[in-house]
Amino acid sequence: MGITQRVIAPFKQTTGLARWILLSGLVLVALFILLAIFAPWIAPYGHAQVRVDGEMFPKNGPPSAEHWLGTTEGFYDVYSRVIWGSRTALQVVIISVVLSVLLGAPLGLISGYIGGWLDRVLVLVMDALYSFPSLLLAIVFAFLLSDLLGGGVLSAGVALTVIYVPQYFRVVRNTTISAREATYVEAARAMGAPRRTVITKYLFGNVVQNVPVIGTLNAADAIGTLAALGFLGLGIQPGEAAEWGYDLQRALPGASAGIWWTGVFPGLAIVLLVTGLTLVGEGLNETVNPTLRKRRLLPFSLPPRETAAVIADEPKDDR
């Protein structure tokens, strides 16, 4: 079975509530992916646009026909910022999840398979990173990377990567350790397969199954952390792209003055996208994780009466 098939296969096995959770999550996430891809066509204005035809947008303007969700204190159009923000969020999340899988999974594989002092040191370092408050870790990295890579999507994505590497490392390492002793791996070794082949051909496919679940749950977390960085002024800088967390920070001073539209909508976007990703993750978890999965019963129709009596006498099969 190819790796893609392995990844897709669980979805076919979903039933009932798990499938419903997965589907509603997928719909929400798909909505934001569409918004992100077609942002230039959907958003009426640019993410940093403050005037049209030489005329300035109103400051803190309430929702109106020209500005469906109002304008901010920086003269931006809230509706456009929310849509462009989905593009930024997804870009950052993709960068961070892909990078952390690329770093964490191979490290876990090697650490688990080779073992010894390398394994011990890596586990200790990863555990230390994991136990540290993730936001503080992201803050430190964002602080450093903003000097190095600038305040754009890339540096935010890399800053978030650091938080999630330990998780992939742990899961892949633990599965590797249990798979390492399995008969088929022993057989491969006995046939003289080099270490490299054992890791890439035999172990990789079997330990990679958990990655989609952690990936989506981490993606949900990453959206929140990105927004948190933006909210603290350490994320994506306003000139680079639209970012929901930054918009929330700018909306804060107006909140006690009753200016609600600048904050409510970007926040709602965060909530919806995080919920969508969480639902996908939970749905996947229930299907991939055999202990949570309910098996779907195959449709079964009784055979005609006279043969039924014969079958009933035969020894029963559990399946």
Partner 1 sequence: MASAGGSLPRYIVQRVLLIVPMVLILVTIVFLLLRVAPGDPVSASVGGRLSEAAQAERRAALGLDRPLYVQYFEYLGDVATLQFGETISDNRPILDIVKENGGATLTLAVAAFLIALAIGLPLGAIAGRFRDSAGDVVIRIFGVITYAAPVFYWGLLFQLLFAGTLGWLPSSGAATPVTIFEVETKTHILLIDAIIAGDSDAVVDVLEHLILPAFTLGLLLSGIFIRLVRVNMLQTLQGDYIEAARARGIGELRVLRAHAYRNALVPLVTVIGLQVALLMSGAVLTEATFNWPGLGNELIEYINQRDYAAVQGIITLFAVVVVLVSIAIDIITALIDPRVRY
Determine the Cα–Cα distance for residues 96 and 157; give it in Å rounded to an integer: 5
Closest CA relative to residue 273, chosen from 226, 213, 223: 223
Determine the Cα–Cα distance for residues 97 and 222; give it in Å rounded to an integer: 8
Under the binding rule (CB under 8 A), the answer on residue 233 touching partner 1 is yes
Q: Judged by CB under 8 A, which of 54, 133, 192, 315 binds partner 1?
A: 133
Report the residue number, 30 or 124, with the smaller CB distance to partner 1.
124
Under the binding rule (CB under 8 A), the answer on residue 4 touching partner 1 is no
**Structure tokens, 153:** 């999507």
Point out which span in 100-108, 259-267, 299-307, 310-318 binds partner 1 (CB under 8 A).
259-267
Q: Judged by CB under 8 A, which of 79, 141, 169, 202 binds partner 1?
A: 141
Per-residue DSSP letters for 80-112?
Answer: HHHHHHHHHHHHHHHHHHHHHHHHHHHHHHHHH
Under the binding rule (CB under 8 A), the answer on residue 245 touching partner 1 is yes
Q: Judged by CB under 8 A, which of 128, 292, 308, 311 binds partner 1?
A: 128
Give, as ranges, the residues between 165 and 224 that touch partner 1 (CB under 8 A).
220, 224
Under the binding rule (CB under 8 A), the answer on residue 134 touching partner 1 is yes
Cα angle 213, 223, 103; round to 5: 55
> What's the closest the beta carbon of residue 65 comes to partner 1, in angstroms?
24
Under the binding rule (CB under 8 A), the answer on residue 271 touching partner 1 is yes
Binding site residues, partner 1, CB under 8 A: 124-125, 127-129, 131-136, 139-141, 143-144, 147-148, 220, 224, 227-228, 231-234, 245, 248-249, 251-252, 255-258, 260, 263-264, 267, 270-271, 274-275, 278
